[in-house]
Amino acid sequence: MKVDILDIGSGNIRSVKNWIEKSNVSTRIVTQPDDIKSEMLVLPGVGSAGSYMQRMKSGHFDEAIKAHVDKGHRLMGICLGFQIMMEYSEEDGHVEGLGFLNGHVERLIGQASHNAWEPLSFRRQEMAGQSFGSQHHLTQKRIFNGRVFYNHEYGVVNKSQDAFSLPVSRAFSQYSGLLVKDNIIGIQFHPEKSQISGTDLINMIL
């Protein structure tokens, strides 16, 4: 498998690249929409939804990503990259997202930001109905059980009833920390900063 990592100036590209390559998977950093050609595309993201989507649309990356998904190829969004896959975000007033997943993004209720480690656990079979989780080449593990690192001010409110979704935490149970729908996966936490848990996760989903 080859993995493309989209670089539109959103930061943390090298960290995500190093995280994926720990599983001995080949990666490419792509900066042009026509360069998106691998079986899996990763959207990292640090910053604001407004500027991210402005760069996305002005560079016609939104069209290329839609074509990638329509072919049945896999798409992974991390942090802001996850949030812009929703229908819209309340950040920067109101920002239209890519609309791949039903739901929206809103400011975290009752807290300015969430910067913490949180437990995460799931059985591999729980995402078996989604095509993203149908292949597990790199590990025979059936259960993921670890701690993952969050650093965000906005949360994803999922509206897809048939998606596999895990909450951020007990305190933020209304927000998705991990969301899988068909060939798309959204990750609100930072797997590239989650140490051994991040490595275990990439081995389970690639």
Among candidate residues 39, 68, 79, 104, the one labeled active-site is 79
Among candidate residues 68, 104, 152, 190, the one labeled active-site is 190
Among candidate residues 104, 114, 118, 192, the one labeled active-site is 192
Dihedral sign, CA of 152, 148, 78, 76?
negative
Mark whether 91 is an active-site residue: no
Mark whether 114 is an active-site residue: no
Pairwise CA distance, residues 161 & 113, whole Å:
27
Mark whether 192 is an active-site residue: yes
Which residues are identified as catalytic? 79, 190, 192
